[in-house]
Chain A
Amino acid sequence: MKIEDEKSFDELTDKEYKYGFVTDIESDSLPPGLNEDIVRAISKRKNEPEWLTEFRLKAYRHWLTLEEPKWAKVEFPPVDYQALSYYSAPKQKIDAPKSLDDVDPELLATYEKLGIPLGEQEVLAGVANVAVDAVFDSVSVATTFKKNLEELGIIFGSFSEAVKDHPELVKKYLGTVVPYKDNYYATLNSAVFSDGSFCYIPKGVKCPMELSTYFRINAANTGQFERTLLIADDDAKVSYLEGCTAPQRDENQLHAAVVELVAHENAQIKYSTVQNWYPGDKDGKGGIYNFVTKRGHCRGNNSKISWTQVETGSAITWKYPSCILKGDNSVGEFYSVAVTNNLQQADTGTKMIHIGKNTKSTIISKGISAGKAQNSYRGMVKVVETAENARNFSQCDSMLIGDQCGAHTFPYIDVSNPTAQVEHEATTTKIGEDQIFYCNQRGLDTEEAVTMIVNGFCKEVFRELPMEFAVEAQKLLGISLEGSVG
Chain B
Amino acid sequence: MALLEIKDLHASVADKPILKGINLTIKPGEVHAIMGPNGSGKSTLSNVLAGNEAYVKTAGQVLFDGQDIDDLAAHERACAGMFLAFQYPVEIAGISNMYFLKAAVNAVRKYQGKDQLDAMDFLDMVEDKKKIVKIRDDLLERAVNSGFSGGEKKRNEIFQMAMLEPKLGILDETDSGLDIDALRIVADGVNALRSPDRGFLVITHYQRLLDYIVPDHVHVLVHGQIVKSGGKELALELEDEGYASWVDEKGA
| Pair from one complex | yes
What is the interface of chain A, defined by CB distance below 8 A to chain B? 2-5, 429, 432-435, 437-446, 448, 452-453, 455-457, 459, 482-486
Which chain B residues lie closer than 8 Å to A448 at the CB level?
Answer: 103, 107
Task: Name the 3 nearest CB pairs between A and B, nearest first.
Answer: A456-B94, A440-B74, A456-B95
Q: Does B40 contact A (CB under 8 A)?
A: no
- When distances are taken between beta carbons in the complex, the residues of chain A under 8 Å from B79 are 443
CB distance from A448 to the nearest CB of B (A): 7
Q: How far is the CA of A452 from the CA of B99 in the complex (A)?
A: 10
| Chain B residues in 8 Å Cβ range of A483 | 99
Q: Report how far A434 CA is from B141 CA in the complex, Å.
A: 22
Query: Mostly helix, strand, loop or mixed at chain B's interface?
Result: helix
Instruction: Encode B35-61 as 1/0 by CB contact (under 8 A) with A.
Output: 000000000000000111110000000
**A435 to B143 alpha-carbon distance, docked (Å):** 13
Say whether B164 contacts A456, CB under 8 Å. no
Q: Which residues of A contact B78 (CB under 8 A)?
A: 440-443
Size category of the B interface is 35 or more
Interface residues of B in 62-117 (CB under 8 A from A): 73-75, 78-79, 83-84, 86, 89-90, 92-96, 98-105, 107-108, 111
Could you tell me if B99 and A484 are in contact, using CB atoms closer than 8 angstroms? yes
Known: A445-B75, A452-B100. A3 touches B53 (CB 8 A): yes
A442 to B166 CA separation, bound complex (whole angstroms): 10
A-B contact pairs, 9 of them (CB 8 A): A4-B73, A437-B50, A437-B54, A438-B86, A439-B92, A440-B73, A440-B74, A441-B50, A453-B94
CA distance A446 to B53 in the complex (A): 12
Asked whether any CB of chain A lies closer than 8 Å to the CB of B148, the reply is no
Q: How far is the CA of A435 from the CA of B89 in the complex (A)?
A: 9
A437, B120: Cα distance in complex, Å? 28
Min Cβ gap B69→A in Å is 13
C-alpha spacing A231/B26, complex, angstroms = 72
Give the most central of B51, B99, B111: most A CB within 10 Å. Answer: B99
Assess the B164–A442 pair: CB atoms within 8 A.
yes
| A456, B143: Cβ atoms closer than 8 Å | yes
Extra pairs beyond A443-B79, A457-B94 (18, CB < 8 Å): A433-B54, A435-B92, A438-B90, A441-B75, A443-B75, A443-B107, A443-B111, A444-B104, A448-B107, A452-B103, A456-B95, A482-B94, A482-B96, A482-B99, A483-B99, A484-B96, A484-B141, A486-B119
| A442 touching B95, Cβ below 8 Å | no
Are B122 and A485 in contact, with the CB atoms below 8 A? yes
Is A443 a contact of B104 with CB atoms below 8 Å? yes
B204 part of interface (Cβ distance < 8 Å):
no
Find the B residue at minimum CB distance from A447.
B75
Q: Is B123 an interface residue (CB 8 A)?
A: yes
**Cβ-based interface call for B174 (8 A):** no
B160 within 8 A of A: yes
A119 shortest CB reach to chain B, Å: 32
Q: Which residues of chain A are within 8 angstroms of B120 by Cβ–Cβ distance?
A: 486
Distance (whole angstroms) from the CB of A338 to the closest CB of chain B: 17
| Contact residues in A for B51 (Cβ distance below 8 Å) | 440-441
State the CA gap A439–B160 with chains docked (Å).
Answer: 12
Q: A3-B53, A438-B90, A452-B103 are in contact. Are A445 and B73 (CB under 8 A)?
A: yes
B93 touches A457 (CB 8 A): yes
Residues of chain A lying within 8 A (CB to CB) of residue B141: 484
Q: Are A443 and B54 in contact (CB under 8 A)?
A: no
A455 touches B95 (CB 8 A): yes
Do the beta carbons of B75 and A446 come within 8 Å of each other?
Answer: yes
Q: Cα distance A444–B144 when bound, in Å?
A: 14
A486 proximity list for chain B (CB < 8 A) = 119-120, 123
The reply to whether A484 and B98 form a contact with Cβ atoms under 8 Å apart is: yes
CB pair A443 B73 closer than 8 Å = no
